Amino acid sequence: MLNREDIVLLFLDDPEKLVGEIQNGNLFKSDEIRTLICELVDPSIAFRYALHVDMCPHDLTRKIACGSPAWAQCYAESVDKVPRGDTRNASCKDPKWAYLYAILAEGCWHYETWNAVQKDPYWKDQYERWVKK
């Protein structure tokens, strides 16, 4: 069994390998490992941990994923599978991801995503074309 230091070293060396070790049953997922990973990683790894290891939403992984508009949108679409205020708010920090959030996570028009796409003429145009009120 790996100790905390080994887990940190494994993760820093190859985050995907650590996720693989958990998936293969060589490590048991736990709140401690989730916390350790979320303290050390970027939003993409927190998203992948939620998707492939937890296989369900968790407040900690969502919070880390919301550090990036792109990963917040991915989290809402693939892990939460429903729109939420925190993921929407994070996605709306970038017009592209606000548009994609409306299409892929929300599935319809929302005033926050609409306001966010106003910052970029291209994404505003796409929103007007493809997002239904």
Q: Going residue by residue through the chain, which has 133 residues, state the pLDDT in tens, using 9 for 90 and above.
A: 667 677 767 766 776 777 777 777 777 777 877 887 777 767 988 898 888 888 899 999 999 999 999 999 999 999 999 999 999 999 999 999 999 999 999 999 999 999 999 999 999 999 999 998 7
Write down the H helix ranges in 1-133.
4-13, 15-23, 31-40, 43-49, 59-65, 69-75, 85-91, 95-100, 111-117, 121-130
Count CB-CB contacts under 10 A for residue 9.
Answer: 13
Count CB-CB contacts under 10 A for residue 40.
Answer: 15
Q: CA-to-CA distance for 63 and 54, rounded, in angstroms?
A: 15
**How do the domains of the chain map onto residue ranges?**
4-130
pLDDT value for 3: 73
Phi, psi values for residue 101, rounded to 5°: -60, -45
pLDDT value for 110: 97
Q: Cβ distance 98 to 92 under 8 Å? A: yes
Question: What distances in angstroms separate CA 22 from CA 36, 45, 89, 105, one per listed residue?
Answer: 14, 14, 31, 28
pLDDT value for 106: 96
pLDDT value for 1: 64
pLDDT value for 21: 77
pTM: 0.83
